[in-house]
Amino acid sequence: MLALVSIVTIFSTTYLQYDSGSYSQTIMQIAWFAVGAVAAAIVMQLDRKTLYHFAPVAYGFGLVLLVLVLIFYDRELAVTNGAHSWITIGPLSLQPSELMKVAYIIMMAYLVQGYNDEGRRLGIEDMVMMERVKFDARFLLKITLWTIPPVALIIAQNDLGTTLVFLMMFIGVIFVSGITWYIILPAFLSFAVIALILIILVVYQRDLLYALGFQDYQFARIDSWLNPFGNSANESYQLAQSLKAIGSGGLLGKGLGQFQVHVPVRESDMIFSTIGENFGFLGSSFVVLLYFILIFQMISVAFRAHDAFYASMVSGVVMMFTFHIVENIGMSIGLLPLTGIPLPLISAGGTALLTSMLSIGLILSIKYNEGLDDEHLSKNPVVKAIRWVNRLIPQNLIDKLT
């Protein structure tokens, strides 16, 4: 259903909206859905053991891509949006930070499984409180250290939105990892205090934030969020137009292809403005309902898994989808600042769509491989290929690194 919404909405945005519209964006989206479906079907066949051992390999490959994009990034796109996040190969643009999300999720699940295994070996349930806090604090430090490299490389790309997605996935994994609340609660409160201080500094003391590396375009997004119609001719134009478009849709919308408000980047980041204007409040609510059903099904899988690796993996995927959905819709209706985050499975964009489909494939793999023995799995060509890749890196080297 979300795929249908995506195709219809992109067709309306890129073809019906203009007298000389083009089919190309719609055809590309259909093609990416086909590629994503194949990718999800491939990932779905990977069993727990294969995924677990593949996690460090995927993480390392993702880091290599993040380094390469800093060297070979598309200069034209960088001038347009300010981020060094895309590598262009012929007619296609690849965003490595999107693919890194999947690798990061699997890697976090790998580390959580290691934490749980070590906890059982040491008798974590019988530890006194101070001993438990020290044990959990060491694990928290470990997953923080594994989070820093991808986040630092994405910050170097000047991509704040994707950085926030990684932080949300990090928080989601922490909450299901089993770490004691004596650590989680103070850490969460500290995070909330830091966020509050940053907001206060943005409003009253920007010089300090400039010294810390913040840039004008980031402040412009905050200003447009706080006062969307204050400078609607420049920084606030996109948000102001989005609010007008969504509001003008009313209860039932104006109809497919009916536009009266110009909104920049409607086909990707601001696609919710098309849904609001064309299909109104009821159509927008239907999309939110579809997302609720999707997230609810994902969470149900996590509860049925009874496995630390799978539960952490699903948690990372759920946080990724939830943050994308809340942030994208929130920024389109003025509740949250603009960050350039696409709407999952609906916005135009090949790499983001592929990432969403791969993530869904990870969750489908839990049920798909349930009850299959290793003899059966070893005959699967996909499993055989990934296990061959896993054997290329010595396990003792991986154990030392992790």
Number of Cβ within 10 Å of residue 294's Cβ equals: 19
* pLDDT at site 201: 83
* pLDDT at site 199: 80
* pLDDT at site 213: 73
Specify the pTM.
0.91
Number of Cβ within 10 Å of residue 205's Cβ equals: 11
Query: What secondary structure letter does DSSP report for 213?
Result: T
Give bridge partners of residue 89 from the DSSP assignment. 92
More confident residue, 92 or 123: 123
Residue 165 — very low, low, confident or very high, per pLDDT cuts 50/70/90?
very high
Q: Tell me which residue of 183, 108, 173 sits closest to 145, measured CA to CA.
A: 108
* pLDDT at site 232: 58
* pLDDT at site 102: 96
Burial zone of 79 (CB within 10 Å; 0-12 exposed, 13-18 middle, 19+ buried): exposed
Q: Tell me which residue of 95, 85, 70 sits closest to 159, measured CA to CA.
A: 85
The conformational region for residue 158 under phi > 0 = left, psi -120 to 50 = alpha, else beta, is left
* pLDDT at site 92: 78
Residue 399 — very low, low, confident or very high, per pLDDT cuts 50/70/90?
confident
Q: Which of 41-45, 162-166, 232-236, 340-344 has the lowest mean pLDDT?
A: 232-236
Longest CA–CA span in the chain (Å) reads 71
Q: Which of 63-72, 122-131, 141-150, 245-254 has the lowest mean pLDDT?
A: 122-131
- Encode pLDDT of 230-285 as tens digits: 765 566 788 889 999 999 999 999 999 889 998 888 888 899 999 999 999 999 99
CA dihedral defined by 238, 76, 67, 363, rounded to 10 degrees?
50
- Encode pLDDT of 180-191 as tens digits: 888 888 888 988
Residue 305 — very low, low, confident or very high, per pLDDT cuts 50/70/90?
confident
147-163 average pLDDT score: 91
* pLDDT at site 231: 66
Q: Give the percent of the chain with pLDDT over 70.
A: 98
More confident residue, 230 or 6: 6
* pLDDT at site 204: 79
Q: Which of 24-38, 111-125, 286-300 has the lowest mean pLDDT?
A: 111-125
Residue 36 — very low, low, confident or very high, per pLDDT cuts 50/70/90?
very high
Would the pLDDT of 26 be above 90?
A: yes
Helix spans in 73-126 (H): 75-81, 96-122
- Please tell me whether residue 345 adopts helix, strand or coil conformation: coil
28-41 average pLDDT score: 95
- Rounded Cα–Cα distance for residues 302 and 51 (Å): 16
368-392 average pLDDT score: 85
303-324 average pLDDT score: 91
Would the pLDDT of 12 be above 90?
A: yes
**Cα dihedral across residues 185, 189, 194, 196: positive or negative:** positive
- Rounded Cα–Cα distance for residues 65 and 78 (Å): 17
Residue 369 — very low, low, confident or very high, per pLDDT cuts 50/70/90?
confident
Average pLDDT over all residues of the chain: 88
The conformational region for residue 93 under phi > 0 = left, psi -120 to 50 = alpha, else beta, is beta
29-41 average pLDDT score: 95
